[in-house]
């Protein structure tokens, strides 16, 4: 799977980050807790230089809890600060406030941070919670946030929001797949059915019960047959009585992204290749 996506606003985002680094004390990188490595900006340290980085694993309610705990330990072992949050239910924000209080106490003013991350990891939802704002644009499509905006978050934070950012070419297919599964790449750039078959392949290896319980499929079948079963069991039929596998593929991806298949982590700390090699 070869994905190239680097529109002009992403190059602009990199410029916004670099131009405003001198104004901030910390960089808050939002990643998806289900795939912290794959949604982590690979050249983040080159981009932010010596600025302090805090990795915030958002959507922790959709990831396997024990796996997320291992990621926190992994980042700590590698000298990186991280914490997990659920922005929808405001879980984990107490630790964030403690982090802000500790740093801001040293500088005797509200902590100034810049929020960065790939599309669709929930940056706007995170900012809504921390700033107590209901009016910021949020959505489940990558790239909805535009421009830049400073927000005052009580007496603890002053935040600069930035649009989503991706790198010019995704070299590792496994990374591209996980970004696609999570909705970080625009659907128009993807072969939705192909991506859904890859997701089915992964789930059948690691979490077969999720597909059986959610869609009533036969776990012994191969991914194309399972996708067809999903379509038929959901009543998605196309002209001529054929199963509408495209609609089934879109439904599967959407429901996975929304957590309707359960708490599923896509990667483990230190995992190299493994189950992703043959997908």
DSSP 136: S
* Burial tier of 39 (Cβ tally within 10 Å: 0-12, 13-18, 19+): buried
The order of strands in the sheet holding 111-116 is 81-84, 52-58, 26-32, 111-116, 157-161, 149-153
Ligand-binding annotation for 164, yes or no, is yes
Ligand-binding annotation for 233, yes or no, is no
Ligand-binding annotation for 20, yes or no, is no
Rounded to whole angstroms, the Cα distance separating 182 from 75 reads 21
Ligand-binding annotation for 124, yes or no, is yes
Residue 17: closest CA among 54, 40, 49: 49
Ligand-binding annotation for 51, yes or no, is no
Ligand-binding annotation for 125, yes or no, is yes
Rounded to whole angstroms, the Cα distance separating 210 from 214 reads 6
Residue 198: closest CA among 103, 279, 141: 279
Phi, psi of 100 (to 5 degrees): -65, -40
Ligand-binding annotation for 43, yes or no, is no
Rounded to whole angstroms, the Cα distance separating 98 from 162 reads 24
Measuring CA to CA, how many Å separate 270 from each of 35, 63, 121, 123? 12, 17, 22, 26
Ligand-binding annotation for 128, yes or no, is no
Ligand-binding annotation for 35, yes or no, is no
DSSP three-state, residue 169: strand
Ligand-binding annotation for 265, yes or no, is no
Ligand-binding annotation for 176, yes or no, is no
Show binding-site residues for GTP: 58-61, 120-125, 164
Show binding-site residues: 58-61, 120-125, 164
């Amino acid at each position: 799977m070869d994905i190239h996506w680097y529109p002009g606003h992403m190059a602009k985002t990199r410029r916004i980050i670099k131009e405003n680094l001198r104004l901030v004390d910390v960089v808050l990188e939002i990643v998806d807790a289900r795939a912290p490595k794959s949604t982590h900006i690979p050249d983040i340290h080159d981009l932010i230089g010596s600025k302090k980085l805090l990795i915030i694993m958002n959507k922790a309610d959709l990831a396997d809890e024990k796996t997320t705990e291992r990621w926190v330990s992994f980042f700590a072992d590698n000298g990186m600060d991280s914490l997990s949050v659920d922005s929808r239910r405001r879980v984990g924000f107490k630790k964030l406030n403690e982090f802000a209080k500790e740093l801001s106490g040293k500088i005797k003013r509200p902590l100034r941070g810049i929020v960065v991350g790939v599309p669709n990891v929930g940056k706007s939802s995170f900012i809504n919670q921390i700033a107590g704002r209901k009016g910021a644009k949020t959505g489940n499509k990558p790239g909805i946030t535009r421009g830049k905006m400073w927000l005052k978050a009580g007496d603890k934070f002053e935040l600069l929001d930035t649009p989503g950012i991706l790198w010019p070419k995704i070299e590792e297919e496994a990374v591209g797949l996980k970004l696609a599964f999570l909705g970080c790449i625009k659907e128009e750039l993807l072969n939705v059915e192909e991506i859904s078959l890859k997701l089915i392949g992964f789930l059948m290896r690691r979490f077969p019960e999720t597909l059986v319980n959610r869609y009533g499929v036969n776990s012994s079948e191969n991914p194309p047959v399972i996708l067809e079963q999903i379509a038929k069991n959901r009543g998605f039929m196309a002209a001529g009585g054929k199963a509408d596998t495209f609609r089934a593929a879109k439904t599967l991806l959407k429901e996975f992204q929304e957590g309707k298949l359960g708490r599923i982590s896509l990667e483990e700390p230190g995992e190299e290749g493994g189950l992703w090699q043959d997908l």
